[in-house]
Structure 1
Amino acid sequence: MELRQLQYFLKVAQKEHVTQASEELHVAQSAVSRQIHQLEEELGVQLFMQKGRNLQLTPVGQLFCKRVDSILKDLDRAVAEVHEFLDPEQGEIRIGFPHSLGIHLIPSVVAEFKRRYPNVKFRFKQGMFPSLIRDVISAEVDLAFISPFPEKHEQVEGEVMLTEELFAILPPNHPLAKEENIKLNQLKDDKFVLFSKGYSLRPIVWHACLEAGFTPKIAFEGEETDTIRGLVAAGMGVSILPEMALFQTNPLQPARVRISEPKVTRTIGLIHRSDDKLPRVAQAFRSFLISYFGLQQQTGTSKNGKHHNGNNKNTPVGS
């Protein structure tokens, strides 16, 4: 059994089509078909069955595919570890994060890290809370920023990097737009623009409204902070967003007002697999982040000079 056969098999399993697999592999279709046939002969099983114009894994093929995927990922990591051992500053860091952190936080920390280690490469993957957990467990990413921080999880661990304040955002002509502070129940009669279900900010806002004594009336739902901010600015409702999601990216901006009661915050953590040792370059990035956010919490400011109520740094998952 050859490594090439396993690589061809996995690519066909992913694409469900020999032609598409051969195009991505940059080899002849006949070569891919021949390697798959030889693999099936050696194993004595049929790995694929025809389904229309596509190929579909047989039950035994599905079982074999899971193992092959794991083996090839381990091999890739082994090769990466060798390269990192020879030169730790030449490695690649795979990091996941939610959309709301991609506006400012991720570019800021990556730029700062690359000033120190200019040859390190990054591979990014955005996702929602459940998919980020899955990506860490399946080793699709080495590290993931996540919010809220999962206090208890058997397969991931990490640290709370910061606790961020959330602000009410209002249309510019809203009666409360000029206020410095408001109580959240002052918005009980307004319609809300919220994140769609599945986004971690939605339950934070929802529970804060319930704590304030009302159930929010939903006018619109969105999947990006720019969309929600734009709809609020256009007068379609009110909302609550984290501070780092309020950087101006277009001329139409809502008013930002601090919520005095109840205080609305979210934790932002960094997680990795609990049963696995991080690659050296990823461990270096993790150590850098702990120091980076620790210094910000001591000064009470982020890199842009905005206040973050950071606490609970280095809190282990499950504590």
Structure 2
Amino acid sequence: MNLRSLRYFAAISQAKSITKAAEKLHIAQPAVSRQIQNLEEEIGVRLMNRSRAGIKLTGAGEFLLQRVLPLLVELDQAKETLSQQANAEVQDLVIGLTTGEGLTVASTLISGWNQQFPAAKIRIFEGLAPTIYAGLKDGSIDIGVVPEPLPYTDIWTKPLFEEPIVFIAPKEDVDSGMPFRSLDNLDVPSALSLPIILPSSPNPLRTSIGEIADIYHVTLNVALELDSMSIIKDLVRRGNAYAFTTYAHLTNELEHDLLRVVEMPKQVFKRNISLFGLLQNDHLAPDSPAVAFIEELILNTVKDGRWPGAKLL
């Protein structure tokens, strides 16, 4: 007899319907029915009768319900008390975000954190992945949300989801000396051979594009190294070169039709977004309440479709 089957039994008893109980529990109906069947087999008695009119408990079912409901209430109260105690121990948090991640999730993190941990403050730091790592090392940042790969050996990482890397180009010919190029049927070697602007190493995007170039045996045509995605996008828009980025960085450009965006083969042009922190920071281990809550908030933005192009791992 497990807690899950007892919760399902109580939910069905109160809803008087397996279908309604399954909807309330956000569980598929067959899974709920299977749990009740297993419970009845384990106890050895029928707990409910099913008919078109709904569910009616047997005498044994009524007996069990009277004892299960107070137990579930006490367990929920104990869980809430323990959660409050854990939350009370949570300290202020400084979280590092890269630009695209910051634009997408900062508001969600701030509002969610303030509601869950009103006694602890949250502060957002925006910067490149190497800068966020440096902040972890000097103690000015607690955890980071950054794209992988990360070249550091003294960190833990929690992969959250993957997002596609896309190719961006100017909308039309401009006074830059670079002719307008049709991007219809653009293949990977051609895209990698065009003059592109990339961040400098060890930026994760630079690492990813370099690894893809190695796969296709192409020498990158790096027109410029620049560690600012906002300036990279502006230079591309003005026709100075091409670039690679992700949809999280292109919200404004897509809304105002400022750039051409070409999707590349997603099985190759993708990257993981991960939480990361220092191994030596015991206060913010991967399973700590603060980290678990930040993870939940970010994953919810993916589930709700608020992180453009993202896919859960």
User: In terms of mean alpha carbon deviation, does 134-143 or 215-224 score higher?
Assistant: 134-143
Q: Which amino acid aligns with 2:207?
A: P
CA deviations on 1:87-142 (whole Å, 9 max, x unpaired) are: 83984212223334222233333334334445542233344434433432443322
CA deviations on 1:259-305 (whole Å, 9 max, x unpaired) are: 0276211222112232333269x9433112332344456x4x5325x
Asked whether the 8 Å contact 1:149–1:269 carries over to 2, the reply is no
Following superposition, the deviation at residue 191 of structure 1 comes to: 0.9
Following superposition, the deviation at residue 224 of structure 1 comes to: 1.4
Following superposition, the deviation at residue 212 of structure 1 comes to: 2.8
- Pick closer, same or farther for the CA change 1:196–1:274 going to 2, 3 Å: closer
Residue 303 of structure 1 aligns with which residue?
306
User: Structure 1 regions of 5+ residues with no counterpart?
Assistant: 1-83, 312-319
C-alpha distance in structure 2 between counterparts of 1:92 and 1:284, whole Å: 12
Q: Which residue, 265, 272, 280 being the options, matches 1:267?
A: 272
Secondary structure (helix, strand or coil) at the match of 2:132 reads helix
C-alpha distance in structure 2 between counterparts of 1:204 and 1:279, whole Å: 28
Aligned residue runs from structure 1 range 118-267, under 5 A? 118=118, 120-150=120-150, 153=153, 155-173=154-172, 174-177=180-183, 179=184, 182-248=186-252, 253-260=258-265, 263-267=268-272
Per the normalisation by structure 2, the TM-score is 0.59
Q: CA RMSD in A?
A: 3.4
Number of aligned residue pairs: give it: 221
C-alpha distance in structure 1 between counterparts of 2:115 and 2:186, whole Å: 41
C-alpha distance in structure 1 between counterparts of 2:266 and 2:280, whole Å: 41
Q: Which amino acid aligns with 2:231?
A: T
Following superposition, the deviation at residue 194 of structure 1 comes to: 1.4
Following superposition, the deviation at residue 239 of structure 1 comes to: 0.9
Secondary structure (helix, strand or coil) at the match of 1:114 reads helix
User: Structure 2 regions of 5+ residues with no counterpart?
Assistant: 1-83, 173-179
Aligned residue runs from structure 1 range 273-292, under 5 A? 273-278=278-283, 283-292=288-297
Secondary structure (helix, strand or coil) at the match of 2:290 reads helix
- Identity across matched positions, percent: 14
C-alpha distance in structure 1 between counterparts of 2:310 and 2:210, whole Å: 22
- Pick closer, same or farther for the CA change 1:290–1:262 going to 2, 3 Å: closer
Larger radius of gyration: 2
Asked whether the 8 Å contact 1:168–1:241 carries over to 2, the reply is yes
C-alpha distance in structure 2 between counterparts of 1:112 and 1:176, whole Å: 44
Asked whether the 8 Å contact 2:147–2:273 carries over to 1, the reply is yes
- Runs ≥4 residues deviating over 6 A: 84-87
Q: Which amino acid aligns with 2:187?
A: K
Asked whether the 8 Å contact 1:193–1:237 carries over to 2, the reply is yes
C-alpha distance in structure 2 between counterparts of 1:89 and 1:133, whole Å: 25
Asked whether the 8 Å contact 1:128–1:200 carries over to 2, the reply is no
Asked whether the 8 Å contact 1:183–1:262 carries over to 2, the reply is no
C-alpha distance in structure 2 between counterparts of 1:165 and 1:229, whole Å: 17
Aligned residue runs from structure 1 range 34-49, under 5 A? none
- Does residue 92 of structure 2 align to residue 92 of structure 1? yes
Asked whether the 8 Å contact 2:86–2:289 carries over to 1, the reply is no
Secondary structure (helix, strand or coil) at the match of 2:264 reads strand
C-alpha distance in structure 2 between counterparts of 1:203 and 1:218, whole Å: 13
